[in-house]
Amino acid sequence: MWETWRRRTGKAASEAVGDGATANAVGFVDATSHGRTATVVRELSSGVSRLGRDAAEVRGLLEDTQKVVLSQAQAMQALGGELEQVRHAQDGINTSTEKTREAVGRARSALAGVGNEVGGIVSTLRQVSDAASEITKIALQTRLVAFNASVEAKRAGEAGRGFGVVADAVKDLAAQVEASSKAIMGTVGTLDSRIETFSRELSADGVAGAAQSSIHQAFSDVETDVDLIARSAQESQTTTQQLAERSGELGVEIQQAMRKLESAFACSDRFLRLSEQMIEQIASSGVEVEDSPYIQAVQGAAAEIAALLERAVAEQRIDLASLFDEQYQPIKGTDPQQYTTRFTSLADQLFPEVQERVLSFSSKVVFCIAVDRNGFVATHNRRYCQPQRAGDVAWNTANSRYRRIFNDRTGLASARNQRPFLLQTYRRDMGGGNFVLLKEASAPVTVAGRHWGGVRLAFGF
């Protein structure tokens, strides 16, 4: 009997022990499975995070390419306008050269007329010279007659004295006439020589192998230069036309490239958003991942900001209309543009306490800011609240980030998000062509049951 009891008891005990071992084994398997799942989720989160980083970088590169292509499109459009102006100028050159040819032709005709007139002048001058020569001869004869009369008057004695005086006067007058006529002949001879030379210059146009005069050579040079200008203008017009055609082709190609870039941009946006949604789902799974501390920090900061604003409204430090003011007043002379609102001074008083504390949460944190639903940053972190420097846009972009509206894709999405949290990956413009890849966690801020905006916490990879 004892043996039977012992065997039964031992069997029961053995079965009991077996049941306990099985239960422990099942618990161990569950714990191991959960641990492995958590590890897989963390690894997946890390992989998706890297994927999101790559997607953000691709999107940024596409943005850069899009800017370049857009700049090229604008340049091609400007070039088309300039080529059109060149064509108009070339038409004007062609018209001017044709008018110049006509003017040279008229000048040649006028010169021919002048040549004929000059020939008439030469003939007249020769007639004058002949007349002066006749006058000289007559004066000479008159002098001889007067001399003879004077001799006869002297022979007549007292009776011929009066006649002698007249004869002497006639002789003197004849001498003066002779001298004047010779002077006329000399002057006319010189003038005749010059005019004859001028006449030859006018008529010597190189016809029949004759030497061309300087006047006609000058006209020929003008005509040659005009022809050269006309040919150059024609060649330039042909080249301009070819450039215009190529410019049009390039414009079409650029438009096609822009459409393809827009398609690639939309695809990268979907890809980036998918990676962000995967990160959000992983972070919402309850498994502690590398982004979890930042999500919790931004949610805590959003709750604090909301509480501070609620208290300010309750204490009548500001009314709801002023707190939700969207009439942004530009600050004159700022670049990038800065603004003020009716809640700006309150933000300066309340937000730094929370923002600066969260900023020191981790060395990876780049900024922590509260924004309204349009992306307006009334007060940034102190390091980015430097007064602007006149004319230094790059420095202002990097260091004067307060009082500005960031309504880009990332900024507006964070500002208008009303889910418990939002995770995004993007390139931040630091000014001067410098960019940095960041991740951003944001959480909404609600005041008096209305969505005011959110808190943005950006951190590096």
Q: What is the mean pLDDT of residues 401-424?
A: 93
Checking if the pLDDT of 15 tops 50, the result is no
Q: Cα dist. 310→228, 232, 297, 447 in Å?
A: 84, 78, 20, 6
Is there a single domain that holds both residue 326 and residue 394? yes
Is there a single domain that holds both residue 251 and residue 354? no
Is there a single domain that holds both residue 298 and residue 170? no
Checking if the pLDDT of 128 tops 50, the result is yes
Checking if the pLDDT of 371 tops 70, the result is yes
- Higher-confidence residue of 189 and 271: namely 189
- Calculate what percentage of the chain has a pLDDT beyond 70: 66
Q: What is the mean pLDDT of residues 360-372?
A: 94
* pLDDT reported for residue 17: 39
Is there a single domain that holds both residue 113 and residue 246? yes
Whether residue 37 is contained in a domain is answered as no
Using a 10 angstrom Cβ sphere, with 0-12 exposed, 13-18 middle and 19 or more buried, the burial of residue 302 is buried
Whether residue 214 is contained in a domain is answered as yes
- Integer Cα distance of 114 and 393 in angstroms: 71
Is there a single domain that holds both residue 243 and residue 301? no
Q: Could you report the per-residue pLDDT of 280-338, keeping only the tens digit for each?
A: 777 676 667 788 899 999 999 999 999 999 999 999 999 999 999 999 999 999 999 99
* pLDDT reported for residue 373: 97
Q: Are strands 365-372 and 450-459 parallel, antiparallel or unpaired?
A: antiparallel
Q: Which tokens sit at 117?
A: 């007139």
Q: Could you report the per-residue pLDDT of 196-220, keeping only the tens digit for each?
A: 777 666 666 655 445 566 666 776 7
Whether residue 15 is contained in a domain is answered as no
- Within 8 A by CB and 6+ apart from 276, the residues are 52, 423, 424, 425
First and final CA of the chain: distance in angstroms?
A: 75
Is there a single domain that holds both residue 196 and residue 341? no
Checking if the pLDDT of 264 tops 60, the result is yes
At 130, which CATH number? 1.10.287.950
- Name which of 81, 419, 116 is nearest 276 in CA terms: 419
* pLDDT reported for residue 50: 65
Instruction: Give the type of residue at 193.
Output: S
- Which of 270, 300, 325 is the last residue before a domain boundary? 270
3-state secondary structure of 85: helix
Whether residue 254 is contained in a domain is answered as yes
Q: What is the mean pLDDT of residues 408-416?
A: 92
- Which of 203, 236, 270 is the last residue before a domain boundary? 270
Taking the CA of residue 185 as centre, how many other CA atoms within 13 Å lie in the half-sphere pointing to its CB? 14
Q: Where does the pLDDT of residue 3 fall: very low under 50, low under 70, confident under 90, or very high at 90 and above?
A: very low
Helix/strand/coil (H/E/C) assignment for every residue in 361-426: CCCCEEEEEEEECCCEECCCCHHHECCCCCCCHHHHHHHECCCEECCCHHHHHHHHCCCCCEEEEE
Whether residue 6 is contained in a domain is answered as no
Q: Cα dist. 209→112, 204, 206, 213, 325 in Å?
A: 18, 10, 6, 12, 95
Is there a single domain that holds both residue 237 and residue 312? no
Q: Where does the pLDDT of residue 51 fall: very low under 50, low under 70, confident under 90, or very high at 90 and above?
A: low
Q: Which domain holds residue 212?
A: 49-270
Whether residue 217 is contained in a domain is answered as yes
* pLDDT reported for residue 63: 67
The 8-class DSSP code of residue 336 comes to: S
- Within 8 A by CB and 6+ apart from 142, the residues are 170, 171, 173, 174, 177
Is there a single domain that holds both residue 174 and residue 75? yes
Whether residue 104 is contained in a domain is answered as yes
Q: Where does the pLDDT of residue 228 fall: very low under 50, low under 70, confident under 90, or very high at 90 and above?
A: confident
The 8-class DSSP code of residue 160 comes to: G
Residue listed under structure tokens 């084994």? 25
Is there a single domain that holds both residue 113 and residue 144? yes
Is there a single domain that holds both residue 312 and residue 420? yes
- Higher-confidence residue of 114 and 23: namely 114
Is there a single domain that holds both residue 241 and residue 313? no
Q: What angle do CA 82, 84, 89 make, to 5 degrees?
A: 95
Whether residue 26 is contained in a domain is answered as no
Checking if the pLDDT of 29 tops 90, the result is no
Number of domains in the chain: 2
Range with the largest mean pLDDT of 146-155, 218-227, 448-457? 448-457
* pLDDT reported for residue 48: 62
Q: Could you report the per-residue pLDDT of 100-110, keeping only the tens digit for each?
A: 777 777 776 77
Checking if the pLDDT of 352 tops 80, the result is yes
Checking if the pLDDT of 425 tops 70, the result is yes
At 436, which CATH number? 3.30.450.20
DSSP state letters, 203-238:
H-BSGGGPPBPHHHHHHHHHHHHHHHHHHHHHHHHH
* pLDDT reported for residue 143: 67
Q: What is the mean pLDDT of residues 342-356?
A: 97
Is there a single domain that holds both residue 454 and residue 350? yes
- Averaged confidence pLDDT in the chain: 77
